[in-house]
Structure 1
């Protein structure tokens, strides 16, 4: 038996395709002092029974970049390692059977073109020529991606493992990690057991690639890794004469995918309601195991498949398989360093797309470890998006019954999850519900997205065009533009930073000047060393030594992690105070009149200037009012302790009856902010987007001698911008924009919209998107003709660098 080392630069836990990929890519970067520990045998958890589909197109540019990387890697691995991977670029076909699915597939085809993925809409005759066995009488659309493929999942992992060993990595099977050790701040290594032997490997970096075992292992270290296993079903026929190598076929409207392999046909399913598995933990001896058959559960899928492909009527079933796969609450995997413990890294939770994801994910994680920062924006899979409460096992069990099916469900814009709801609620949740609120969920928070009128269903009716709440949004939007609206924004993340060094600390992290008088509000970004945007926030100075940071609810854990990792030995404390205060945004030209009706304090422009905060009385209570706006109108954010929140809300609502107050939801907030061209973190601005190219240079103070990203800002100013973030408005008032529509400049696709909504005051759909323009002036960029491609159809668009609504921001300062 090969002895285990006493020390390693990095220890990787788990020998599935994810762990093998991380080991391979670290070794390729020259990390020879790395050890992979597998509790039993490589691939024995879920990798060995994966379907092995390699689809390149994903929902975003960077996820597509990673998937394309995986496909390219798997094509060359056999030559590099001598291990056959079974990788064949047979292509894929996606069939639509409804008008809605046709719209979705055509939008995906536009996205593929924008990302440089070869794609084509094909006719029924062309499908039949490639796939003679399929019935197409009800087909509404078919999209073909020639570069997609399929592979042998176990051999892919074995090839990665061979490549890792060839480059110096050590891989040990039959070794269980019993604990990840730490000193209270960062990991110090792992304890292991092999038979009757046990020991410790000291390491500064531990990477949890434990798959469905990963959640419970992470919990031992206080790390939230929210995933849960589900049963995943497929069957394989007996050999079918003359079957050949067919493209992978997906029929999402029937929850099915088809793959030909070795003369047999595989039928797999992502059924609408899945079966969670392993609620009491994954059995210790699980190794190349399957789960009990449940043919009754799979039968509806097979019935549809038999009509879709009549060969299933006569082909015998060789294998009916049921095996576990890990799923997450949002169908996205986890990558990166856990915010709870320095040195604890994760690559897990692949939602049944682990083969196509792991090649790219392993590369990205290895580069992240090498450079100290991700190679590009990885926020949508960043472990820091996970909320601490999401480790709850009942929550996960309920949620994953839905998320498996969402992989093939209609990907409607604004689609809301239905399971495991109501975990985090505002103190006025029931008030809003009674008033007609239709709730969405972000980071577990129930948030009013729109308000139904009396007699109208408090529910979504999804569509790719104008959904049933479009007129509700218009009314709320125009109330904010012309009267006064009230938003419940209690879900804002609120972080208190205080201590002797608080001001210097924040000035080091923030690009804007934070050393301002108490009561001032500063809009700023926290940058990385490349000038990319790590956080978009406001900082309110409460006193000489105390500051309040307000961030999006979805990024709270990310922002807390960024702050704590940079605090070092400074005399500063960082505290999450989100739950302590509710937030009500009173916005619109009549907001001052309303607040004056409930408060004796001076709210005049002279007495309460824009960008300031102070305590005011409201009704019988007290609150802190921040004069700031994310909708582009006069207004205040009212921060009130949760015990007084209901009273303050009721006071505003009662007085509002005489002032035309309208309760407004997040959809109206978003349509107002996009008219004003306000950026949205995670869409319009990310850690990959340079603050100057995002048009946020006004919030950067390079006269400060020392803040993270300053050198990158100065370098960009000298070199010039390579791209600019533009606002677009469609001239045709009918189409809808959501995000990911293609930006067409002078007849050529150059990028995509990062966000979109309907501009009710501007009279058309509005979007934001970056336009490459190296060496061009602003005037040159605007001189071009622009169109936006929506589901294959192009619409003329007006482009602007300045906000199209209130470009001089006169309304917010009224």
Structure 2
């Protein structure tokens, strides 16, 4: 076996299907000095025992784009490499056994049409016709995707490896990575060991594709890769005489999937309570290993399966398989540049969808490595979404029990994770809990989403229709619109940027103008070179040399990382101060009167106009108030040091009785913001959405001499917009919108909603979504007839380019 080279442009660690795909796609872009190191044999970790299901439809447009790319790639690999991949389009059927699951499937079918995926809702009779072996008792309906497929996982990986070798990559087996040499924020060398010796490869880049070892390899590199292995079960029957090719069948209500496999049936399970594995590390000898059988654990799934597919009762079991697969805290894989380092990349944690994801993930990561920028929005899987604490082993052990089963659980809107909760709590957590708060979790933060009335159970009851908290949140919404509401925003990220070059640095990295007086608040975006939106923040000038950047809770780390990677020669220090201050939002027509009742300071338009901050006395303490809003009403965000947070809350709560104060949650904030057409980062605006097409040109100072994205901004200004972000309101008050519902213009699907919620003031569900309109005026666009498809039903919608609620922001600036 040849020894590794002394130097390489990139070293890929891990020879499963993901590592092989990354190597293949880098060489396809012309990278020749690519080295892939595999500790044992290629595919010997998880790839070899994958089920090989290859579906097209994923939860978002870009994840669907990647899955479809994988399919197309596997269809051509055989011709390119002369290696069979076993890929064939057999179609897939998913059936529903409940009305709620049927609504989910119908919504998925609508979403598929918006994403250009061929799909057909089918009745129980049609399910029976396409899968005659199925016992259709209890089947409510289903969906059929004719172009879904299956393949041979190991052969797909080996074909990708061969394609990489053909173009110059070195793929070395039985070569274990024993350590990484680091210099600051870069890995400069990879230590290896094999039977032939040991050594080091100097390198420009490292890609962690180590699968269930990725957490350990991440620690070697000084990076956080949160994932945990779980036991994953399936059985393969003896040969069944006369069994012909069948579509892949999924019965998620029974946690099961079925695949015809060379004349046998493979039955796999995603059980609700999974079994974590490898808590004490993965044995060094692990290679094509199976885990001990646990028939008792699998038996409930098998009993349901024998009823659902009666032929199983007559078929013997050829193989009872138990093998480990890795799962992440949110069931989305990890891809991208690790936030802690500047040349360490990650592609790992594929949550049992590695085969269908590998082609697209490898393509996207290779493109990112080549250009230095994400090729399109990868926020769903970007490794920078993971919080540092999520690498905690105990946390991963507890969360992984749940995440495996969530793949087939009902994907209800607003569904909250049940495990590994309570890790991050704001200073106001106990005060809110005592008053009926029902918490959700985001980035580990426990956040009050809504408040239960006295005597009501403080828990979610999930549905695709109006959930049990709908009216509670509506009352909170009305309180903010009509009186005053109080809610906790402490989880939002707070980054202090200070130093002699702080102003110049922000003027370079952000689109706004930060050469403003002390106390001024600037709503702004950080843009990439394409004028796509990398962050959506407010920046408050605290002093001549200090600014506070406030970010969404979920993107605090990625926003901080974006800033750090663009510091260059600027003399600035960036500090995460999120935990140092609590934030109470006081919003509504009575907000000024409430604050004046607890503070001697002046909250008038003259002293504290919209978009400014001031230090105040509050009760017996001190606070800083920012006059901004994300709900479209008069209001202030009250920043108070963590030690005084409880006092500030008690002071406002006691005084609020005279002003109609109501405690509110995050669901209210979202329903209010969508009425005002405020954009939600990660949904309505992403790195691939041009700031002008997002309708945020007002937040960009175009005449600044130099800032990231300026050239692309000016090009778009001169060339004209290709699409616009439009607000929609359903004219029927009954249907609900969540996201990804198709937008129809004059009867044709032209896009999908990027976000949706219910507009309690507007009297119907409201959504935002991009509509193509090259060369059109706003009037021409709005003259069209618009509908939104909800679970297969087209619903008429009003459309507007201005906020439907308070379009001139008169209430905000009152």
TMscore range, shorter length: over 0.9
Answering whether residue 311 of structure 2 is matched by residue 311 of structure 1, we say yes
CA distance in 1, matches of 2:376, 2:172: 32
Q: In structure 2, what is the equivalent of residue 22 of structure 1? A: 22
What pairs up with 1:568-607 in 2 under 5 angstroms?
Answer: 568-607=568-607
Residue 170 of structure 1 aligns with which residue? 170
Alignment partners' CA distance in 2, 1:121 and 1:495:
48
Question: Paired residue for 2:130?
Answer: 130
Q: In the aligned structure 2, how far is the partner of 1:546 from the partner of 1:566?
A: 17
Shift of residue 284 of structure 1?
1.0
Q: Is the 8 A contact 2:623 2:641 kept in 1?
A: yes
Tell whether the 8 Å contact from 1:436 to 1:451 is kept in structure 2 after alignment: yes
What is the DSSP-based 3-state SS (H/G/I as helix, E as strand, rest coil) of the residue aligned with 1:111?
helix
- Give the Cα–Cα distance (whole angstroms) in 2 for the partners of residues 108 and 133 of structure 1: 25
Report the Cα distance in structure 2 between the residues aligned to 1:610 and 1:10, rounded to whole angstroms: 51
Tell me if 1:638 matches 2:635.
no
The structure 1 segments of at least 4 consecutive aligned residues displaced by more than 6 Å after TM superposition are none
Check the 8 A contact 1:189/1:205 in 2, yes or no: no
Cα distance in 1 for residues equivalent to 2:555 and 2:468:
29
- Give 3-state SS (helix, strand or coil) of 1:567's partner: coil
Mapped partners of 2:568, 2:508: distance in 1: 12
Aligned positions of 1:204-353 closer than 5 A: 204-353=204-353
| Shift, 1:115, TM fit | 0.8
Deviates more, 1:214-223 or 1:441-450: 214-223
Shift of 1:569: 2.5
Aligned positions of 1:360-759 closer than 5 A? 360-759=360-759
Displacement, 1:187? 1.4
| CA apart distance, 1:736 | 0.7
Q: Give secondary structure in 1 for the equivalent of 2:362.
A: helix
Q: Offset at 1:196?
A: 6.2
Cα distance in 1 for residues equivalent to 2:582 and 2:189? 41
Q: Is the 8 A contact 1:623 1:639 kept in 2?
A: yes
Kept after mapping to 2: 8 A contact 1:75/1:87: yes
Q: Output the CA distance in 1 between the equivalents of 2:642 and 2:739.
A: 35
Deviations 1:509-552 (A, max 9, x none): 11110110111000000000001000000000011110000000
Question: Which residue number in structure 1 is paired with residue 74 of structure 2?
Answer: 74
Distance 2:525 2:254 in 1: 45
Q: Determine the C-alpha separation between the residues in 2 that align with 1:600 and 1:444.
A: 37
Q: Counterparts of 1:304 and 1:35 in 2: how far apart (Å)?
A: 47
* Alignment partners' CA distance in 2, 1:580 and 1:284: 43
Report SS of the residue matched to 1:575. Answer: strand
Cα distance in 2, alignment partners of residues 92 and 394 from structure 1:
37
Separation of aligned partners in 2, 1:752 and 1:485: 32
SS at match of 2:803: coil
CA distance in 2, matches of 1:609, 1:112: 46
TM-score by length of 1: 1.00
CA–CA distance in 1 between the matches of 2:730 and 2:157? 48
**Contact 2:187/2:221 (<8 A) preserved:** no
Q: Tell me the distance in 1 between the aligned counterparts of 2:736 and 2:146.
A: 30
Contact kept? 1:336, 1:382, Cα under 8 Å = yes
Deviation at 1:251?
A: 0.3
**Matched residues in 2 for 1:587 and 1:289: separation?**
58
Q: What SS does the aligned partner of 1:647 have? A: helix
* Counterparts of 2:324 and 2:4, CA distance in 1: 30
Q: Is the 8 A contact 1:351 1:404 kept in 2?
A: yes
Q: Secondary structure at the match of 1:693?
A: coil
Counterpart CA distance in 2 for 1:772 and 1:190 is 48
- Aligned-partner SS, 1:276: coil
User: Does 1:88 pair with 2:88?
Assistant: yes
The Cα offsets for residues 465-492 of structure 1, whole Å up to 9 and x where unpaired, read as 1110111011000000000000100001
Distance in 2 separating the partners of 1:198 and 1:383: 31
> Which residue of structure 2 lines up, in the alignment, with residue 200 of structure 1?
200
Determine helix, strand or coil for the equivalent of 1:524.
Answer: strand
Q: Deviations over 1:599-656 (max 9, x none)?
A: 0001111111110011100001000100000100000000110001011011101111
Report the TM-score, using the length of structure 2 for normalisation. 1.00
**CA distance in structure 1 between the aligned counterparts of 2:42 and 2:266, rounded to whole angstroms:** 24
Deviation at 1:660, TM superposition (A): 1.1
Give, in whole Å, the separation in 1 of the partners of 2:414 and 2:123: 30
Contact 1:236 1:267 in 2 (8 A): yes
Deviates more, 1:598-607 or 1:440-449: 598-607
In structure 1, what is the Cα distance between the partners aligned to 2:575 and 2:202? Answer: 31
In 2, the alpha carbon distance for the partners of 1:189 and 1:775 equals 52
Query: C-alpha distance in 2, partners of 1:125/1:462?
Result: 29
Secondary structure in 1 matching 2:585: strand
* Equivalent position SS for 1:579: helix
- Give the drift of 1:780: 0.8
Per the alignment, residue 777 of structure 1 pairs with 777
**2: distance between equivalents of 1:532 and 1:570?**
23
Kept in 2, the 8 Å contact 1:439–1:450? The answer is yes
Q: Which residue of 1 aligns with 2:786?
A: 786
Shift of 1:658: 1.7
Distance 1:748 1:132 in 2: 35
1:19-54 alpha-carbon deviations (Å, 9 max, x no partner):
000000000111001100000100000000000000
Q: Is the 8 A contact 1:368 1:374 kept in 2?
A: yes
Hey, what's the Cα distance between the residues in 1 that align with 2:114 and 2:570? 46
CA–CA separation in structure 2 for the residues paired with 1:335 and 1:490: 28
Please give the alpha-carbon distance, in whole angstroms, between the structure 2 residues aligned to 1:580 and 1:794: 48
Q: Which residue of 1 aligns with 2:355?
A: 355
1:215 positional shift: 0.1
Check if 1:37 corresponds to 2:60: no
Q: Deviations over 1:717-759 (max 9, x none)?
A: 1111010000000111111111111111100111111001111
Instruction: Measure, in 1, the Cα distance between the counterparts of 2:196 and 2:556.
Output: 44
CA distance in structure 2 between the aligned counterparts of 1:473 and 1:379, rounded to whole angstroms = 28
How many Å apart are 1:198 and its aligned residue? Answer: 1.2
The residue that corresponds to 2:49 in the other structure is 49
8 Å contact from structure 2 (residues 221, 344) kept in 1: no
Could you tell me how far apart the structure 1 residues matched to 2:741 and 2:713 are?
29
Cα shift readout 1:636-687 (whole Å, capped 9, x = no counterpart): 0001100010110111011112211100000000000000000000000000
Within 5 Å, give how 1:90-105 maps onto structure 2. 90-105=90-105
Instruction: Output aligned runs, 1:137-176, within 5 Å.
Output: 137-176=137-176
> Structure 2, unaligned stretches of length 5 or more?
none
Whether contact under 8 Å (2:259, 2:266) holds in the other structure is yes
Tell me by how many angstroms 1:127 deviates.
Answer: 2.2
Contact 2:127 2:141 in 1 (8 A): no
Aligned equivalents of 1:85 and 1:772: distance in 2?
Answer: 38
* Distance across 2 between alignment mates of 1:267 and 1:769: 40
Preserved CA contact (<8 Å) 1:74 1:87? yes
Give how far 1:178 is off.
0.9
